[in-house]
Amino acid sequence: LQIHQSIRGIFINQIKYALEILHKHGIKKGQSIGTPMATKPKLDVDLSGNPVDQTECRSKIGSLMYLTSSRPDIVQAVCFCARYQSRPIEKHLKEVKRIFRYLRGTINMGLCYPKGSSFDLTAFSDADQAGCIVSCQSTSRGIQFIGDKLVSWMSKKQNYTAMSSAEAEYVALSASFAQVMWMRTQL
């Protein structure tokens, strides 16, 4: 992590690491892209697709996982791609490369913590209904702020199949609330 302190506040990023992994994985040229993931990605365990090098795919996903400590904008996409590491095929690798293309265009992004704001704790959660094509399980997402500063984020496949969108949302809300309760003990 690179931490830059100034009179205005603190900026945390991983520009050096991002450049290093772009170079390591050969993502040097080509057009950058505006989002890390398609709106409705169609990834599944496709046994008929052309397999790719499992080690290479895992290495790329692992590199991106490390980057999520300062880049919450890629968490959802990276976690989604990580589900298919056991038998990656070309379309899985294509989605991983899409994240790298997004990263190349947003290399200077990070977390900004300006000086002076309240200590109000705010949380948001969301879930999709049966977002996993294979298991029909939903994905929970949550973010927590202290004042206007993002301090915690997560994206996780739910442990069971929700029977309705409301149930999926409640599961996501419960996970986010648990994080808030823990954060309150730390303040």
Task: Quote the pTM value.
Answer: 0.84
pLDDT in tens, 141-156: 899 999 889 999 998 8
Q: What is the Cα–Cα distance from 147 to 120, expressed in whole angstroms?
A: 5
Residue 47 pLDDT level (bands cut at 50, 70, 90): low
Over the stretch 94-108, which tens digit does the pLDDT of each residue have? 899 999 999 999 999
Q: What is the CA radius of gyration of the chain?
A: 18
CA dihedral 141→85→62→99, nearest 10 degrees, is: -60
Domains of the chain, by residue range, sit at 2-105, 116-186
Please count the residues of the chain. 187
